[in-house]
Chains A and B, each alone.
Chain A
Amino acid sequence: MELTTVWFLLVAVLFTGYFVLEGFDFGVGMLLPVLGRDDRERRVLINTIGPVWDGNEVWLITAGGAMFAAFPEWYATLFSGFYLPLLLILLALIARGVAFEYRHKRPEASWKRRWDTAIVVGSLLPAILWGVAFANILRGVPLTADHEYAGGLLDLLHPYALLGGVTTLGLFLTHGAVFLALKTTGDIRERAGALAVKVGAGTVVVAVAFLAWTLTIRSSAAAVVLAVGAALALLGGLAAARVRREGWAFTGTAVAIALAVATLFAALFPNVLPSTLDAAGTLTATNAASTPYTLKIMTWVAVVFTPIVLAYQGWTYWVFRRRIGVQNIPQH
């Protein structure tokens, strides 16, 4: 396999990992006021992701770094072209990350309320905007022959992209609710399970519509198979959630998100950012790539370190595998 293909796959894997992992972080953040009825309950929710959210976010930093290293043209055009959505995502991630750490640092209710808002908005915005961004990557954007973004903000906000935003929003909400049902005890667990089924039912409709629309824009045999797999995994996850088989439900939503992201990348390949303006502007895994020498070095680094990272990150989830409930929240 050519190294450019290897790196296309690796970038896809990194974004997939990011959405599967931070997907439930975002879901938990958005559900804070819905499932957390008082401060103690909200602390339960936050503490289910407390030890892991930062490590989950590094998937994004690594995906961005891999894109920069392996496909500098893709990174440069995408990040300068999707300027305002990315700005909003950055501001959201800043507010949300600080909020997790600072929320409990003062006892006043008003202090906590403000950080709760930061967590909710900071989770909601990226949950929608990532869908908008990836829908635009798939559909293509106006690019000049020298790969400069030639559109404005409104060119990124068409119905297909907005449906993409609603899809990621729904998927992350469902994923988060299922995760909470898996990681909590008592009343919260019950409510999270019930909510997962309700939100999930709506999400199935939206996600199937989005994936079908995606395949009409661009498609490949692999993309069709992956899209069908994503839909089935989501349905399976919801069926499991209905009968409160939480481990299976979480597996289902995780696989659904992974396959949905994989669908987009499979449909996109070998392009990385198609141009809707000048065909010469289209960025592909070949014309956006770094030199073979750089890709070779990066491949070795990835081959050596990725398994190590997966091992210790996986171990972290094992260490913090126990469910928590209001009885586990210390008084201060």
Chain B
Amino acid sequence: MHSWGFQVDALDVARWQFGVTTVYHFLFVPLTIGLSVLVAILQTLWHRTGKERYLKLTKFYGKLFLINFAMGVVTGIVQEFQFGMNWSDYSRFVGDIFGAPLAIEALVAFFLESTFIGLWIFGWDRLPKRLHLAAIWAAAIGTNLSAYFILAANSFMQNPVGYRVNPDTGRAELTDFVAVLTNKVALITFPHTLAGAFLVAGSLIVAVGLWHVIRNRGSADTDAYRFATKFGSWVVLVSAALVLFTGDIQGKIMTQVQPMKMAAAEGLYTTESPASFSVLTVGSLDGSREIFALKIPHLLSYLGTGDPNGTVHGINDLQAQYASQYGAGSYTPIIPVTYWSFRFMIGLGMAAAAIALLVLWTHRKGRTPTSRWLLRAGLVMPALPLLANSFGWIFTEMGRQPWIVFGEMLTRNGVSRSVSLTEVLTSFTAFTLIYATLAVIEFKLLVRYAKAGVPDVSPQPAADDDTDDAERPLAFAY
């Protein structure tokens, strides 16, 4: 390792593994969160109207949802185990607080999600129609609930509340569970994350629907695809508005609880009032020297404080303040990462909204778009908010560094002491390889099933009344 001129230690690899496995897991989570609800809405429409196109769309997008769902489930188990495996000192420090939402997430949300998804997949002919519809809603509720508990756990790392550090054991202890669940960071991160998830799910619905609208013109199912495309576009637009609204509040809260993160989002070195926001900067990567910058005056002040002339603290001042408060050391995150991930998050998310607007415009008053460019834009559309989600999390987590629990525990003190570099390298390599392989397989399957289009849902040839239930084929089988 020394021959490379730098030393890799178990801490670095454990951090990389956490980053890779978590970002990877979160490629599937937004689709699961959003599509579970959107598929439930489609099935509800079918239930209410009896129109075949809604049933077709339910089954069609339901299939894509399940291909994605499987990946979310199996990569999720890794997350729970990883805290203990690679971050055992962190787990010891926060277990009294952090374990509870995780356990509740499993008991209250995951059981609901997994049991009812099974009932939904296999229950088409086993359950009465209403109960079958209730099953997808129960699964969707479970999925969305799980997001709340895990975000409450994460919010404790961002803004620890409802605890004290026991001077005898040096561990954090829970003093107020309600405070942990109503952490202001959790309350705003939850709707922001959900809105971001629906942005992805809506985009997928648009991408697939639009592809069929343009490529399969004249197909008997054009009507269904048109509906899906417009429905998805509206979901994207509404979600984008909610993402902006919640993100704005979140920025202000973050400025209070982690001013360093927001200073790092702008690469703002000196305290300014008013502070401007740079849309992009050409110069050194960390924004410390600029050749050209496109700046919007007052915007950072407004984003951070709500006052266009508000004071935004700079990195240098905060660094000096933290060094005197917590002892010598660097308390500054990696600025190029925070600066650019913040911009990519916003830019990519809004690009998806712009495409959705365009899609709706081209469908106005019964028109059908034919543009190849629109087709291409539609195809890249799901990737945009998906990457925006990734960048949002990279910003949130990297912007908190060097802390694992802000103000209480440094990331380097949370790593497992008994795990060797070889072990964590083995684990990192194994996860990366299996995840990369599965990503290719999953993507190809999604494309295959998206291209196949909506299924035929016409009733099977009248079942012979004499046919015994035991002889009939399953409505769905693996």
Contacts and interface: CB of A to CB of B under 8 A. Distances in A.
Interface of A: 43, 46-47, 50-52, 54-55, 57-58, 60-62, 64-73, 75-81, 83-84, 86-87, 90-91, 93-95, 97-98, 100-106, 148-150, 185, 290-291, 293-294, 297-298, 301-302, 305-306, 309, 312-313, 316, 319-320, 322-325, 327-331
Contact of A319 (B103, B108, B127, B431): B127
Nearest to B122: A51
B70 A102 contact: yes
B94 to A, nearest CB: 8
B227 interface: no
29 contacts: A43-B478, A51-B119, A55-B115, A62-B106, A62-B107, A62-B110, A67-B99, A68-B99, A69-B102, A72-B96, A73-B95, A76-B88, A76-B416, A77-B88, A81-B418, A83-B423, A90-B81, A91-B434, A97-B73, A98-B70, A104-B477, A105-B448, A105-B449, A106-B445, A106-B448, A148-B418, A290-B174, A312-B112, A316-B119
Given A47-B474, A320-B122, A291 B78 contact: no
A86 B81 contact: yes
Interface string B87-107: 011011011111110111111
B183 interface: no
Interface in B407-452: 416-419, 423, 426-427, 430-431, 434, 438, 441, 445, 448-449
B330 interface: no
A68 B280 CA distance: 43
A312 B131 CA distance: 13
Interface string B41-69: 00000000000000000000000001101
A104 B89 CA distance: 43
Contact of B419 (A83, A309, A328): A83
B361 interface: no
Would you list the 9 A-B pairs with minimal beta carbon distance, nearest first? A72-B95, A79-B84, A69-B99, A65-B103, A68-B99, A101-B70, A76-B88, A80-B88, A51-B118
Nearest to B75: A94
Interface residues of B, number: 76
Q: Is the interface of B mostly helix, strand, loop or mixed?
A: helix
Contacts of A67: 99
A304 B314 CA distance: 48
B85 interface: yes
B477 A47 contact: yes
Contacts of A330: 473-474, 477
A83 B427 contact: yes
B134 to A, nearest CB: 11
Most buried by A among B89, B100, B417, B423: B100
Nearest to B71: A98
Given A65-B102, A76-B95, A80-B86, A43 B118 contact: no
A316 B120 CA distance: 11
A319 B427 CA distance: 40
A58 B78 CA distance: 13
A101 B175 CA distance: 43
Contacts of B419: 80, 83
A306 B70 contact: no
A291 B478 CA distance: 45
Contacts of A106: 445, 448
A102 B68 CA distance: 10
Given A62-B110, A319-B119, A50 B102 contact: no
Contacts of A322: 469-470
Most buried by A among B115, B127, B445, B449: B115
A201 to B, nearest CB: 31
B114 A103 contact: no
B445 to A, nearest CB: 5
A87 B95 contact: no
Contacts of B108: 301, 305
A258 B117 CA distance: 27
Contact of A103 (B100, B416, B438, B478): B478
A77 B419 CA distance: 11
B148 to A, nearest CB: 14
A156 to B, nearest CB: 13
B471 interface: yes
B80 interface: yes
A62 B111 contact: yes
B248 interface: no
Nearest to B173: A291
Contacts of A57: 73, 77, 114
Contact of A102 (B80, B445, B472): B445
A87 to B, nearest CB: 5
A97 B434 CA distance: 13
B107 A306 contact: yes
B123 interface: yes
